[in-house]
């Protein structure tokens, strides 16, 4: 099951050229860009690992694409996303976030039902991949 997190996630995966254009747009709006990766695809997992520090004062999208490729090389089977942070006063937040890499095979989520007191049912989702320890979840 293809996970859909962040902007453009219902579109086909972006090509490098398209990623570069998106980065260029972000840089044009004075955003600083950070790269993050994870192998825990749960939608409530906000704390992805950072790939180096966010890149401040970078002028050219090629420099960031180079880092994306370095991250892809190190974690070919992880989810990798680009975050563009707008530091303008009053905004000070991530304004664009999109996936730039995903594992080749995404097994999806299991729905767990828990029978609670008084015939109530509680639901929770659980990524199949998360059954294995971190770092070994998407070995193909």
Partner 1 sequence: MQTTTENQTEERREVDVGAAAREALIDDMLRQLDAELVGLEPVKLRIRQIAALLLVERLRGQAGLSAEPPSLHMCFTGNPGAGKTTVALRMAKILHSLGYVRRGHLVVATRDDLVGQYVGHTAPKTKEILQKAVGGVLFIDEAYYLYRADNERDYGQEAIEILLQFMESRRDDLVVILAGYKDKMGRFFQCNPGLHSRIAHHIEFPDYTLEELMKIAELMARNLMYEFDAESKDAFRSYLELRIRQPHFANARSVRNAIDRVRLRHAVRIVEQGGRIPQQELARIDVLDVRQSRVFQAASERGEAKETL
Length of the chain: 140
- Contacts (Cβ under 8 Å, ≥6 apart) of 28: none
Of residues 26 through 55, those in contact with partner 1 by CB under 8 A are 55
Q: Does 58 bind partner 1 (CB under 8 A)?
A: yes
* Nearer Cβ to partner 1 (3/55): 55
Judge whether 33 and 84 are in contact, CB under 8 Å: yes
Q: How many CB atoms lie within 10 A of CB 50?
A: 12
Segment lying near partner 1 (by CB under 8 A), choices 59-67, 94-102, 115-123, 125-133: 59-67
- Which stretches of the chain are assigned E, i.e. beta strand? 31-38, 49-55, 79-86, 93-101, 109-115, 121-127
Site membership for partner 1, residue 57 (CB under 8 A) = yes
Instruction: Note whether 60 binds partner 1 by CB under 8 A.
Output: yes
Among 62, 91, 126, 132, binds partner 1 (CB under 8 A): 62
The residue (of 14 and 55) whose beta carbon lies closer to partner 1 is 55
Give the count of residues interacting with partner 1 (CB under 8 A).
10
3-state secondary structure of 41: coil
Asked if 21 touches partner 1 (CB under 8 A), the answer is: no
Question: 22: left (phi > 0), else alpha (psi -120 to 50), else beta?
Answer: alpha
Nearer to partner 1, 62 or 110 (CB): 62
What are the residues binding partner 1 (CB under 8 A)? 55, 57-63, 66-67
């Amino acid at each position: 099951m293809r996970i859909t997190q962040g902007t453009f996630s219902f579109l086909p995966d972006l090509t490098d050229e398209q990623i570069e254009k998106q980065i260029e747009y972000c840089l044009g709006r004075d955003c600083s860009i950070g790269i993050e990766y994870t192998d825990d695809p749960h939608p409530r997992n906000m704390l992805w690992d950072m790939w180096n520090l966010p890149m401040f004062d970078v002028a050219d999208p090629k420099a960031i694409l180079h880092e994306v490729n370095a991250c892809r090389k190190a974690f070919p089977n992880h989810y990798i996303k680009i975050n563009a942070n707008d530091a303008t006063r009053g905004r000070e937040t991530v304004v664009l976030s999109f996936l730039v890499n995903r594992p080749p095979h995404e097994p999806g989520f299991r729905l767990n039902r828990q029978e609670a007191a008084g015939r109530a049912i509680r639901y929770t989702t659980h990524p199949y991949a998360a059954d294995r320890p971190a770092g070994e979840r998407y070995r193909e």
